[in-house]
Chains A and B, each alone.
Chain A
Amino acid sequence: MIVGLAFPETALIGLLFAAIQFGAMIYLASLGELIAERAGVLNLGVEGMMAMGAVGGFVFAIETGSPWLGLLAASIVGALVAMIHGLFAVVLGANQVVSGLALTIFGVGLANFWGTDYEGLRPDVQFVDVDLGPLSDIAWIGRIFFQQSPLAYLALALGCVAWFGLNRTRGGLALRAAGESAATADTAGHSVVGLRLFAVAIGGALAALGGAYLSLSISPGWTVGVVAGRGWIAVALVIFGAWKVRRVALGAFLFGLAMALPSRTESFDLPWHPILWSMLPYLLTIAVMIAGALILRNRPADAPAALGVPFRREER
């Protein structure tokens, strides 16, 4: 169909490059949600926190002239916004679903408001893809793995840190205990509220980094709607990855692939209209939910046992 247009190789390299790029962006947000959920707090505000990170990162990058300062500011903004959820859902013990949804709506609205003067501004400050010299020049691998945005490597590094922190440190154990059995963690002398607030803040910071990835690297600049529902995919991804850091990374790559494929259906000469393919990430999300529900009927859940349950010492 694409007569003489593409060497499928270039398209394949492009697909894998874009899959890693989109995957790393989603992974940052998913990692944050994973940490919050492992501590027992479901935070459906990811979309809002990503929007705040996207606008905050861009605004501070423009104002300071440094994408790295923008990134730092985004993570702080994300953690602060997440504290709204922390206040309601963790400290006051409100319904986590309601509070999280409110955070999404509030975060997106506030981001749009904050970004009014930055809307469609020319992105003079942005992350430049790395150039690792000979590594980047290797055929295939160079382009796919060694010419990514610095944020892709940051996502990988943070994934490693999160895995180590959750699974190999005392603090990680306490945090997971807060998510599995808050009362036990409390008895062991840990502050469940403190642990959960910490996890929610980290979650917000990571979600905001995902948003800043969009506004400072993938599609530099701020426009309303830049997050475009990707926060929800990040939430689904945590379930897909069974609350495990490494499996979520794999899932993020798969979802990245699903996001990058519709643009390249012509190059691969795939059947069906590309618009059908663009449903792929969402179909995948639904499929994951259904599969998850079916699997959970027969065996103990992967989900942290105390996920979504507010902790109140008096009510033990």
Chain B
Amino acid sequence: MNWSWDVIIDYFPRLLDGVWVTLELVFLSGLFGLLLAVPLALMRASPNRWLRILPFGYIFFFRGTPLLVQIFLIYYGSSQFDAVRESALWPILKEPYWCAIIAFTLNTAAYSAELIRGAIQAIPKGELEAADAFGMSKALKIRRIVLPRAFGIVLPAYGNELILMLKSSSLASTITLLDITGAARTIIARTYTPLEIFFAAGMLYLVISAIMIGGFRLLERRLNRHQHYRGPDEVAKVDPRLAE
């Protein structure tokens, strides 16, 4: 066995093309997933019992089955029904790219909804009562108090979920998408150097997740800056000018 760096260097641009596809998949499905997860989480945390039960089946299914099955169900499964094939949705559902995004979105929304529900329930009761005391309407309370607070609380956990999503996005390669893993597989089919190329692909994933972890840490510091606040005495110890 001889390790060849040349093959990594030669095909690195192709892998970088894959990085864009991976980032697109993670970003788009993360965004859509969050948009779907917030109402689901509000329903799950609602005092109304029927509203609470409604998203349960959806969340249960998507958290209890493998993502690969979900992708195949949407990509291959949708073609079974003539009604789907003749519908206006077909141009979207026949594209592996959009099927991957739909599957990832539904999957991450189920996980994120539970995370956000936990965060909503972790908001100190006094803050909600204070909002009521100010005479805020339900909608205003959710917009001004519940969601911003829940967002700060959920951030570290959501960061983890996004890293898991990044890793899951490699499954898109099973439905012919050329993300990092998909690009690596096509390169290997030509060069037969699995160790070198998979190593390079793995390093790319590591770098992306390291950047994401760093980014989330910064965002958390900013959003939860009240928790990092230090009194003037302590600040003065760091730099006397700051306490003035």
| B is bound to A | no
